Amino acid sequence: MSDALTPQDNPAASAGTHTISITDNTHRVRMIHSGITMADTQAGLTLSETGLPDVSISRAAT
């Protein structure tokens, strides 16, 4: 079973006001899985999409 919202569950998406934005995250972002640090950055990003919770993401190493 998925926790993802479908367009039917998201009235803003069906109303034509669906937006997606990516902004700098000014906080430290750590991603840990099974006790192992997968990412640790102070230069992360936040993905915001209408009707869904914000998601913190890490930039790719350059």
DSSP 8-state class, residue 47: E
Range 8-22 average pLDDT: 71
Residue 60 domain-assigned (yes or no): yes
Residue 47 has pLDDT above 70, yes or no: yes
Residue 50 domain-assigned (yes or no): yes
Residue 58 domain-assigned (yes or no): yes
Range 18-22 average pLDDT: 92
Res 1: pLDDT: 45
pTM (predicted TM-score): 0.57
Nearest to residue 21, comparing CAs of 44, 54, 43? 54
Res 10: pLDDT: 56
Residue 11 domain-assigned (yes or no): no
Residue 46 has pLDDT above 60, yes or no: yes
Question: Looking at the 3D structure of the chain, how many domains does it have?
Answer: 1
CA distance 23 to 54: 11
Residue 35 has pLDDT above 90, yes or no: yes
